[in-house]
Amino acid sequence: MKAVALTGYLAGMETTTSVVHSFILAMVLHPDVQARARAEINRVVKHDQIPSIDDRVSLPYLSAIFLEVLRWHPPIPLGIPHATTQDDVYDGYFIPKGAIVTVNQWALSRDEDTFPDASRFDPSRHLTIDGKLKDPIVNHYTFGHGRRICPGRWFAENAVWTAMAAILSVLHVDHSRDPHGHRIDIKPEYTGLMAIHPKPFQCSFESVNTAREEQLRAVMNFK
């Protein structure tokens, strides 16, 4: 049981931090997306309240950002390898029992037929014309497939969504400035092998809601 718990913790820690860092990077690079998400939060959530999971159904654009971050840079581009339990034939290819199989999540995320202009960060691709989520139930390939899908996907999904909501409801994320006040440009560059992370980049955080900031600090300091 301890080994299972440790495996889950290590797997979740690596991927969750990757997704949150990618989210912050995306918000710096796309201030229009950030502004639209914050406007949605301010429209739905009380001025002195932090968004909660109960608000999620009313925040489709924020959920679309979550889906787009997973697509834009999936934390494990080649997925988790699995072994076949029996011989199989797929699309004319013979796959013997015991063969190692990986799902190329990077290729799926860059499929131009499904995601036109796939290299562009665009949460709206996950929304209908009237602003609703195309798929309200997250079943993202980032979490795997079939019986071996990530068992912690619901916890991870809720944790990351909550972090995104808290950040945008309290903070404005922007480029850092040099001593002369000039903006420091950044590039979305990544590093890593099995799990990827954005390379270190500079950014700034500015509070945009002191009431929410105080509430968030109280939650973080709760013992």
- Helix, strand or coil for residue 211? helix
In angstroms, the CA 56 to CA 96 distance is 44
Distance CA 175, CA 183 (A): 6
Binding residues for heme, by number, are 150
Annotated binding site: 150
Helices (H) and strands (E) in the chain, counts: 6, 8
Contact 217, 211 (CB under 8 A): no
> Can you tell me the distance from the alpha carbon of 34 to that of 38, in angstroms, rounded to the nearest whole number?
6
Q: Give 208's contacts (C-beta < 8 A, 6+ positions apart).
A: 38, 170, 171, 172
